[in-house]
Structure 1
Amino acid sequence: MVLIGFDGFQALDLVGPMEVFSKANTYAPTGGATPFRYGLAIASASGDTIVSNSGLQISGAVPLGKLADDLDTIMVSGGSVEALGDSPEGRSLLLWLKTHARNARRVASVCTGAFVLGAAGLLEGRRATTHWANCGRLQEMFPGTQVVADAIYVADGKVYTSAGVTAGIDLALALVEQDLGAEVALAVARDLVLYLRRPGGQSQFSANLAAQAQASDRFRELLRWIAEHPTDDLGLPALADRAAMSERNFGRLFKAQTGMTPSTYVELVRLDRAKMLLETTNWPLARIAERSGLGSVPTFIRACHRRIGVTPEQYRARFRLPAVAGEAPGNTP
């Protein structure tokens, strides 16, 4: 397995997955004639020292030309794709990928490393993702790719792409699970003190964070209040009154500030709360609908279909925490 960096790479994109695979060697089964072990190498186009965008230096990188031809997994880190650009280093990396990717069992990228895979022609006709801030650009540059903007990581055939920074750890854990099973992947996650091993279909960010990123201070405080009170009256008249504005002016400014209508934001906030309860409790759907502000099970089901394309039961089956899955439904209020 080789992890590829370049000058301007993002440090965690490289060392995060490296730690996961290294730690997996600790928990890999030791029985059998040929015990499983990841053989790990950090490589770059020319080898020697590579410098991250934060100034971290990694010395001793293997030159691409000295790597074996029969690599199992190739993972390209993200970072400053502009710095890589049309440089000799960038051209060498793309030529090497085009030649060696076809023989590898898997090819993966972290964050903006997806642009490198795209430039090498590896994303054509495939689904892919990258950091949420760069998804639009990825789609523009590679129109033959179906960019999945709201996913932690995406697998399409032998090509795997992941979102920003820590999502590379999630992808690495998924690859460990593919190779060694869920028990080893969870052991690695526990060892690295990860709160949750996030499945690929999880959102990169919540509706609340997405809206707050665009809003002014005045609206940001209201957004936080809405997120903290999903079961309150959050209709347009009540919100406009809380903002001391007319309904018409409030609705217009809210959309300008957040990119969505008040009703859309409220539904997304309530759905975020419902998803959290699906993941962390065994509560019946009626209780979750009530405690998230969605009100009724039919409303809850319609919101799930409209926003995430699955039923609440399907979401729970996929994303519920292992510790919760084995518990009987509780009576906690």
Structure 2
Amino acid sequence: MNDRRRMLIVAYDDAQILDIACPSGALDIANRYGATPPYTIELGTLGRRAARSSAGIVIGAGQGLETVTGRLDTLIVVGGAGSSEAAADGRLVAQVRRLAGLSRRVASVCTGTYVLAAAGLLDNRRVTTHWGYGDQLAARHPAVAVDVGPLYIRDGDVYTSAGVTSALDLTLSLIEDDHGPTLARSVARELVSYLHRPADQAQISMFLAAPPPGDRLVRDLSVHISAHLAGDLSPAALAARAGVSARHLTRLFTAHLGTTPARAVRAARTEAAAHLARSSGLPLAAIARRCGLGSAQTLRKAFLDHYGVAGDRIRKMPDMPRPLGTPWQQTPVP
């Protein structure tokens, strides 16, 4: 098997089926597009038992983790509703620790970080996980530097990714590292996937949704804004992207969102920053840069203007504050 890249995906009961499907599907397509050397994709469980996904779909395992020997290219541990129980299973954790020693690199999807952390593989490393579970991971494992901002993080030979579909972004990155950007682009096109979201794109911005405007141009720009918070989102840049004048763009936003493009952008950036402040330990200055607000001072003013709350208070509030009557209000999707 030395002429192949051996990829072992570790599953367990109540795993998220997309955490399994995204990496395995992308790697399979990479093979069909000529990955050289090709990937060998294996699914392993304790005792080679079938894994029942959280969706109720049962997936047969090809390998018993206890019997896997020989060199592995990549060990991938998936996440899901069963990740806490998996991390508490000493047998599973021991096998993950052993298999990591046989692997060139180790990766996790979503709350698969719980298992890697329990195996001691994340100590003194910067990692990410699903934005809703970063606090729990940090509380359980103080030696792990948790940052729920990015879609995925590489720290040495350990890769961690955010929730669910970010597994696809991570896998495309692995394919690009292994075989170059041309193959990664081909895989993304086959998957009809965005090519491909950068690692440091703020994952929280994907879970903010403006009220869906009826105008398609405004709707498309709203999606663009939430996905590119740190980019150039000036009215002139947005108008150029849409192929209309800045004046016409303002009329469209006012008619369909009840606010101007500049105010809509500031609201999107401020709400993304608020969610990131509450779900990560990042300094306000880092959050401000990531969300396109520039500085901690600008971010504090944005919080006061938008919520009537200082930045440091937002971290301590039991619930997200409500915007102060901002017309273009956004709501986090559970």
Q: What TM-score bracket applies, with the shorter chain setting the length?
A: 0.5 to 0.7
CA-based RMSD of the aligned residues comes to 3.7
Q: Please tell me the residue identity of whatever aligns with 2:135.
A: G
**2:65 matched residue in structure 1:** 64
Shift of 1:271: 7.6
2:128 and 2:87 mapped to 1: Cα distance? 20
Q: Structure 1: how far apart are the matches of 2:56 and 2:231? A: 41
- Counterpart of 1:121? 120
Match of 1:307 among 276, 284, 288: 288
Which secondary structure state, in structure 2, belongs to the residue aligned with residue 69 of structure 1?
coil
Q: Kindly state the Cα deviation for residue 3 of structure 1 after the two structures are TM-superposed.
A: 0.6
Of stretches 63-72 and 132-141 in structure 1, the one that deviates more from structure 2 is 63-72
Q: Deviations over 1:202-237 (max 9, x none)?
A: 111228x45x7xxxxxxx97xxxxxx79xxxxxxxx
Please state whether the residue corresponding to 2:62 is helix, strand or coil. Answer: strand
Q: Which amino acid letter does the alignment assign opposite residue 155 of structure 1?
A: R
Distance in 1 between residues matched to 2:170 and 2:34, nearest whole Å: 18
2:21 corresponds in structure 1 to 15
Give the secondary-structure state (helix, strand or coil) at the position aligned to 2:50. Answer: strand
Deviates more, 1:110-119 or 1:20-29: 20-29
CA distance in structure 2 between the aligned counterparts of 1:128 and 1:137, rounded to whole angstroms: 13
Q: Which residue of 1 aligns with 2:195?
A: 196
User: Using the alignment, how far apart are the partners of 1:42 and 1:280 within structure 2?
Assistant: 48
What are the equivalent positions in structure 2 for 1:34-183 lying under 5 Å apart? Answer: 35-79=36-80, 80-86=82-88, 90-183=89-182
For 1:307 and 1:132, the matched residues in 2 are separated by 17
Tell me the distance in 2 between the aligned counterparts of 1:279 and 1:159.
37
CA distance in 1, matches of 2:55, 2:109: 17
Distance 1:55 1:112 in 2: 19
Q: Deviations over 1:176-203 (max 9, x none)?
A: 0000001100100000111331111011
Shift of the alpha carbon at 1:304? 9.4
In 1, Cα distance between equivalents of 2:227 and 2:201? 16
- Any idea what SS the aligned residue of 1:195 has? coil
Q: 1:5 aligns with which of 1, 5, 11?
A: 11
2: CA distance, partners of 1:195 / 1:309 = 20
Aligned equivalents of 1:276 and 1:25: distance in 2?
A: 38
Structure 1 distance, partners of 2:158, 2:48, is: 24
Query: Per the alignment, in what secondary structure is the counterpart of residue 105 of structure 1?
Result: strand
Amino acid at match of 1:145: V
> Take 1:191 and 1:111, find their aligned partners in 2: how far apart are those partners?
24
3-state SS of paired residue (1:46): helix
Counterpart code for 2:24: M
Identity of aligned residues (%): 32
Aligned ranges for residues 208-247 of structure 1 at < 5 Å? 209-210=207-208
TM-score, reference length from structure 1 = 0.64
Residues 28 and 180 in structure 1, CA contact (< 8 A), matched pair in contact too = no
Structure 1 portions without partners, runs of 5+: 30-34, 213-219, 222-227, 230-267, 313-333
Give the match's secondary structure for 2:168.
Answer: helix
Q: 1:317 maps to what in 2?
A: none
Which ranges of structure 2 fall in alignment gaps of 5 or more residues? 1-6, 212-217, 220-224, 251-259, 270-283, 294-334
Provide closer, same or farther for how the CA distance between residues 279 and 178 of structure 1 changes in structure 2, counting only shifts above 3 A: farther
How far apart in 1 are the matches of 2:167 and 2:141?
21
**1:31-67 superposed Cα distances (whole Å, 9 cap, x missing partner):** xxxx410011000111131100110111143101222
Secondary structure of 2:72's aligned partner? coil
Shift of 1:307: 1.3
**Judging changes above 3 Å, is the alpha-carbon distance between structure 1 residues 304 and 192 closer, same or farther for their aligned structure 2 residues?**
farther
Alpha-carbon distance between aligned partners in 1 of 2:61 and 2:291, rounded to the nearest angstrom: 47
